Amino acid sequence: MTATPRTYWLEHAWLGTHVEPGVALDMTDGRIAAVRTGVPAPPPGAEILRGLTLPGLANAHSHAFHRALRSTVQVGSGTFWTWREVMYATAERLTPDSYHALARAVYAEMALAGITTVGEFHYVHHAPGGAPYADPNAMGEALLAAAAEAGIRITLLDAAYLSSGFGRPPTAHQSRFSDGDAEAWAARSSLLKDRDHARIGAAVHSVRAVPAEQLSTVARWAEERRAPLHVHLSEQTAENDACREAHGCTPAQLLALHGVLGPRTTGVHNTHLTAEDVSLIGGSGTGTCMCPTTERDLADGIGPAAALQNEGSPLSLGSDSHAVVDLFEEARAMELNERLRTRTRGHWTAAALLRAATVDGHAALGWDDTGVIEAGARADLTTVALDSVRTAGPLPRLGAETAVFAATAADVQHTVVAGRHVVRDGAHTLVPDVPGALAQAIQDLRA
């Protein structure tokens, strides 16, 4: 994204294990060329980042258009399944242009929250009624362009969504999601190409949305490209029950039987699992993306994140439906949910939670050289104020604890992507009025 050599001076930097004061980063070609510690004052000409600088945050699970549901879905009561009807109505109104405008604003909101990479779980592929656009990837291309204009990286997780349930065709609402079968999905998805700011991955929407005999086609597509593969997994008990009735096994077991699980795969939610499921996921190296603010918003339940990690499943975090866009809240919610469930404290250190929000989140999205402040890594940074009403007081050496357990997205002062300021002093440099862009995009979508 930038080839201009430059130096950033970090007042305090999180280096993965500790907070280091006075760090200079030399950058070139969008990467960190050198990390110099023990630099007590800014070198001449250096860009100054005051506060605590972390690696850029990775939002590993997003549905950009769900941002239009914020607050609207908080009226009344219901379940995931009633919420889904409101979501379908919003999806029905999307066009490539309106999706681009909304996603650009949503991704700018993410940049303001310190997110430098998003995993967009994308399944609204076609026009209402299911007819392809002239460009069969018009909707995906709109998302890729939106991320570029908002200044962040994206992994477009193109999702196969072929049925409404086990043995049932798509509903009218779902017709624009479906390519007909997995081979047609693969042919369309193959037209999408990586670019400097973007990676193309795959997704199985869920075991209810892809017939069992077609799961291997999606898995093979990802394997051949060494691309990330994500899947909504056991988010709802109703899905588990229907899977057992149709196939005599759990969703995790079904995915394993058809070659979907493995180190490049991430299960999103992984909420309602058996002990055997936990061992199967962890033993295969399949990752787990927890989305605590959405999981509690939809009354889904609390997933066994600690048990999954103990079995070998790397953890990442996502804002999913964007009830809020705040990776610090997602990180602490994972710990606090586990405290409520077990009535004990301290399941993850702040360092471990930051790892889920940075390096492991990026790895889940196929950006293996991102999410650390090290020479050779991509120059993506997030700086959190240590002098706000939320963060003032603790010693700087407790910066990780302050970021995870006290800070919010509102404390992000700077976001740097590929060595370039995308957010400076709390203002987006590419999208001048992010609240206005969000309001206008959502208003236009409702019109």
Q: How far apart are CA 185 and CA 265, in angstroms?
A: 18
Question: Cα angle at 157 between 155 and 158, to 5 degrees?
Answer: 135
Annotation says 320 is catalytic: yes
Name the residue among 330, 277, 334 with its Cα closest to residue 115: 330
Annotation says 269 is catalytic: yes
Tally: H helices and E strands in the chain:
15, 16
Tokens of 250: 């759990």
Name the residue among 234, 260, 237, 257 with its Cα closest to residue 247: 257
**What is the crossing angle of helices 434-446 and 96-112, to 10°?**
150
Among the listed residues 230, 258, 269, 272, the single catalytic one is: 269
Residue with tokens 């180190």: 263
Name the residue among 71, 63, 69 with its Cα closest to residue 124: 63
Backbone angles phi, psi at 82, to 5 degrees: -75, -35
Among the listed residues 320, 326, 360, 411, the single catalytic one is: 320
Q: How far apart are CA 297 and CA 351, in angstroms?
A: 26
Query: Does residue 254 contact residue 247 with C-beta atoms inside 8 Å?
Result: yes
Q: How far apart are CA 81 and CA 165, in angstroms?
A: 13
Buried b (16+ CB within 10 A) or exposed e, 367-397: beebbbbeeebbbbbbbbbbebebbeeeeee
Q: How far apart are CA 368 and CA 351, in angstroms?
A: 19
Name the residue among 25, 19, 109, 33 with its Cα closest to residue 70: 109
Q: How far apart are CA 323 and CA 308, in angstroms?
A: 25
Tokens of 14: 């999180």
Q: How far apart are CA 66 and CA 359, in angstroms?
A: 26
Contacts of 145 (CB under 8 A, 6+ apart): 100, 104
Contacts of 212 (CB under 8 A, 6+ apart): 247, 254, 257, 258
Residues classed as catalytic: 269, 320
